[in-house]
Amino acid sequence: MQNDNVSSNINLRWLFGISAAGMVVFAGLYLWNPRVQTETVTKSITTTVTNIVTNTITNVVVKEVPKEVEKIVRVPAAIPQEYIAAMQAVSNLVNCDFVKDNQVLFGIKDVQVICFLTDATKQCVSDDEVRTRFELTLRKNGVPVNPTSKNYVQVIVEGLWDNNRWSITFSVRVRVLETQTLIRGGEAHKASVTVWEKSSYGFAGSIVANSGLLHAVDEQGEIFANDFLAANPKQ
């Protein structure tokens, strides 16, 4: 029993000695090592925000792709010349103006003289005399005379003797006839129409009947020539 107590004391002393030695060792390590002081530095960071506007330019590149466009061009069909002529004729008929007597001979290039004499006047003058005098008057005034012209000028000489055949009363009538188309109520016909006419009257004794008739023919030739040249100033 006593031996057990002695063993316990020895063990306690042993443990105490080891603990004391450890404390001495730690204390030496603490004393011999330098002390490190740790400072905690608190920095205050101030952030300044500046309003900056940034413009972003975006270049958009458009690639042009050629397109084939089919264009339809309507080309009017050629109008036949007959239709054009007919349309022009209708337009002229609708839009034509009214002309006076001295202008109805327009567009005539030349004339052909035709004479008609009654039996009474043939006792004084002949067809050739009347035609020659009338044509001569026309040529003097610059009116073209053509024996084959389709523009006929009629010289009509009519007369009547008195009962004793001492004097003759006569008339000299000059007229221009044309073949025209007459349209009425949608119906059309052609006819010879007098477009110009002038006349004179007189009397002469049997002795001077020839010269009196030819003088009247000359006067009618002058009247016709004046109207012809007025309607065709370039003749």
Arithmetic mean of pLDDT, 134-156: 95
Region 194-218: mean pLDDT is 94
How confident is the model over 89-108, as a mean pLDDT? Answer: 83
Residue 40 in this model has a pLDDT that exceeds 70: no
Number of domains in the chain: 1
The per-residue pLDDT for 41 is 46
Distances (CA, A) of 76 to 79, 82, 83, 84, 87: 8, 17, 15, 14, 17
Is pLDDT of 39 > 60? no
Distance CA 124, CA 134 (A): 16
Sorting pLDDT into bands at 50, 70 and 90, what band is 27?
low
> Which residues are within 8 A (CB) of 210 and not within 5 positions of it... i.e. 6 or more apart?
124, 125, 129
Q: What CATH number has the domain bearing residue 144?
A: 3.30.160
Q: Is 34 inside a domain boundary?
A: no
The reply to whether 166 falls in a domain is yes
Q: What percent of the chain has pLDDT over 90?
A: 48
Q: Which pLDDT does position 2 carry in this prediction? A: 46
Residue 202 clears pLDDT 80, i.e. is over it: yes
Residue with tokens 């009618």: 220
Question: Looking at the domain assignment, is residue 142 inside a domain?
Answer: yes
- Is 48 among the domain residues? no
In the DSSP assignment, the letter for residue 164 is T
What is the model's pLDDT at position 6? 47
Q: What is the mean pLDDT of residues 157-175?
A: 95
Query: Where residue 44 falls among pLDDT bands split at 50, 70, 90?
Result: low
The answer to whether position 187 is within a domain reads yes
26 vs 216, more confident: 216
Whether 136 maps to a domain, the answer reads yes
What whole-number distance in Å separates Cα of residue 119 and Cα of residue 112? 23
pLDDT interval class at 38 (50, 70, 90): very low
Report whether pLDDT(100) > 90.
no
Confidence of residue 82 (pLDDT cuts 50, 70, 90): confident
What is the mean predicted confidence (pLDDT) over 139-152?
A: 94
Using a cut of 0.85, tell me whether the model's pTM lies above it: no
E-strand spans in the chain?
A: 112-117, 152-161, 167-184, 187-205
Q: For the chain, how big is the Rg over CA atoms in Å? A: 70
Q: Is residue 40 part of a domain?
A: no
What is the residue-averaged pLDDT of the chain? 81
Domain span holding position 115: 107-231
| Assigned domain for 84 exists | no
